[in-house]
Homo-oligomer: A and B are copies of this chain.
Amino acid sequence: MGSGHDVNLIDNISMCSHDLLDPEEFRRQGYMMIDFIADYYRDIEKYPVRSQVEPGYLSKRLPESAPYNSEPIETILQDVQNEIIPGLSHWQSPTHFAYFPCTISTAGFLGEMLSTGFNVVGFSWVSSPAATELESIVMNWLGKMLELPKCFLFSSDKNINEGSGGGVLQGTTCEAILCTLTAARDQMLNKIGRENIGKLVVYASDQTHCALQKAAQIAGINPKNIRAITTSKATEFGLSPNSLLLTILADLESGLIPLFLCATVGTTPSTAVDPIGPLCEVAKRYDIWVHVDAAYAGSACICPEFRHFINGVEDADSFSLNAHKWFFTTLDCCCLWVKDPNALVKALSTNPEYLKNKATESKQVIDYKDWQIALSRRFRSMKLWLVLRSYGVANLRNFIRSHVKMAKQFEGLIAKDKRFEIVVPRTFAMVCFRLKLEMIFDQKLHENDGINRIEDQTNELNQILLESINATGQVYMTHAMIGGMYIIRFPVGATLTEERHVHSTWKLVQEHANTILLGALDGNIIDHEMED
């Protein structure tokens, strides 16, 4: 940079600094944005659920550099409508059944607005006390709704630094796992010496979310020591305590050191449930930290009829669920409870001079910066608080139940069409299904090609079916592989989904199945009498 720039030190001014946040202009543009988003929800069914754009579409539509001068909000909103919306896959669409839901609600949105509006940074208690205190309170509220054992909650009458458990809001499950894994790792290394980091072993089933693998890699666990223990249909793809035990014993035999187990309640591929109690029973014999990842299904456990899926959690060390998945708060909001916050604090605390303050020194307060990866943190409890208060426990349970009910209806529809199978029993609000080739082809083909060939063809057919459905833009579903089977996942949970969407989706699935079976298989299909 030469001194030639000096002559241009003040660029042409068209605004003064307070124009950044003039309350009345904020109000005017804020209304406009509320209208824009309300209209978006009203019209959301007009848009293809899965975006139809090609890679690189947006760079062809936007300039290569930022504008030198300001542009009016009206122009920008027009561009959002014309250039951005076509490139979105609409997660809030009532026929978005891809991945897991990422639910929104009016209350969650309003809470996020408040959090953004205050824009406080609650790293320490003193930096904005309400941000810390509301989070602790709300985590206790939700913990009680889940009937979490008291050892996971803040105790009201005890010094928070002495033996009480507690909850914290993280961004995502990966962060929650990374924090607890780091705590477990340092606790262990302090006992056995840092030089043994290469011997530490992390356990999970082969159905466990990739967040565990990533967290373990980041935390410096040797990738060779991340065990993805095979599951099977026999246990409905839940982790068998006996398999865990055998794996641990083999590792001990090899001189390795068991460290951490991630048990899942509601796996991503098929919402399988690892049996927490029996797994803890094994893990605790070897001093293994047990984290329970209930990212998706944890929300259902506020309903008494689902609570039993987390039985045994009292023996785990930490428990998390993603409120942004199926609890109507917006992304991101991962709720983590730990029995021993001090283990987190020991691994994650820093105490620079510029953050020292009397409240921290008094040890009467929580500084959540020491419970997470980052220093800065958003006021996430606000949205969770608004969701809990705006809807109340009774309604929240019923919203969850209405999704389960719709998933049951979809299950019922599938059961009537013998060309399809439900691959694993539905546990929560997700149905895993596929076209079943054996039912379709005649026995001859079966004999000629053998079971493996049939499996491959079944997988391929379902892949074609899914792509064909998604290409319509009318619904969006995604797949998983379990036990070698390509399955189509159908999780109900998007806030706007109603029964009619479940029915229209099933109709679409059937139509595409008809076309594909007729076309691709060239007449080899059994003449199947559809009952629906």
A42-B64 contact in complex given A69-B394, A214-B350, C-beta closer than 8 Å: no
**Contact yes or no, B106 A127, CB < 8 A:** no
- Determine the distance from Cα of A14 to Cα of B5 in the docked complex, in whole angstroms: 65
Best-surrounded residue of A85, A109, A348 (most CB of chain B within 10 A)? A109
Which B residues touch A136, using CB under 8 A? Answer: 59
**Contact yes or no, B20 A105, CB < 8 A:** yes
**Contact yes or no, B109 A67, CB < 8 A:** no
- Determine the distance from Cα of A328 to Cα of B219 in the docked complex, in whole angstroms: 33
Q: Please provide the chain A residues from 32 to 89 with a CB less than 8 Å away from any CB of chain B in the complex.
A: 33-42, 50-51, 53, 55-59, 62, 64-71, 73, 76, 80, 83-89
Binds B, one of A112-120, A412-420, A505-513: A112-120
**Contact yes or no, B350 A59, CB < 8 A:** no
Which B residues touch A121, using CB under 8 A? Answer: 91, 99, 102, 331
Q: Please give me the residue from chain B that is nearest to A479 by CB atom.
A: B354
- Determine the distance from Cα of A221 to Cα of B1 in the docked complex, in whole angstroms: 37
Best-surrounded residue of A147, A377, A392, A397 (most CB of chain B within 10 A)? A392
Q: Which of B42, B119, B386 contacts A91 (CB 8 A)?
A: B119
- Is residue A205 within 8 Å, beta carbon to beta carbon, of the partner chain? no
Q: Please give me the residue from chain B that is nearest to A121 by CB atom.
A: B102
CB distance from A131 to the nearest CB of B (A): 7
Which B residues touch A58, using CB under 8 A? Answer: 129-130, 133-134, 137
- Is residue A495 within 8 Å, beta carbon to beta carbon, of the partner chain? yes
- Is residue A92 within 8 Å, beta carbon to beta carbon, of the partner chain? yes
Chain A contributes a number of interface residues (CB within 8 A of B) equal to: 183
Q: Please give me the residue from chain B that is nearest to A195 by CB atom.
A: B198
- Is residue A398 within 8 Å, beta carbon to beta carbon, of the partner chain? yes
- Determine the distance from Cα of A512 to Cα of B268 in the docked complex, in whole angstroms: 60
**Contact yes or no, B137 A17, CB < 8 A:** no
**Contact yes or no, A88 B130, CB < 8 A:** yes
Which B residues touch A8, using CB under 8 A? Answer: 304
- Is residue A145 within 8 Å, beta carbon to beta carbon, of the partner chain? yes
Which B residues touch A347, using CB under 8 A? Answer: 217-218
- Is residue A376 within 8 Å, beta carbon to beta carbon, of the partner chain? yes
CB distance from A252 to the nearest CB of B (A): 20
CB distance from A315 to the nearest CB of B (A): 16
- Give me 13 A-to-B residue pairs in the complex whose CB atoms sit less than 8 angstroms apart, sorted by A's number: A15-B391, A23-B41, A30-B37, A58-B129, A58-B137, A70-B389, A90-B120, A92-B118, A172-B375, A175-B374, A214-B375, A217-B348, A332-B376
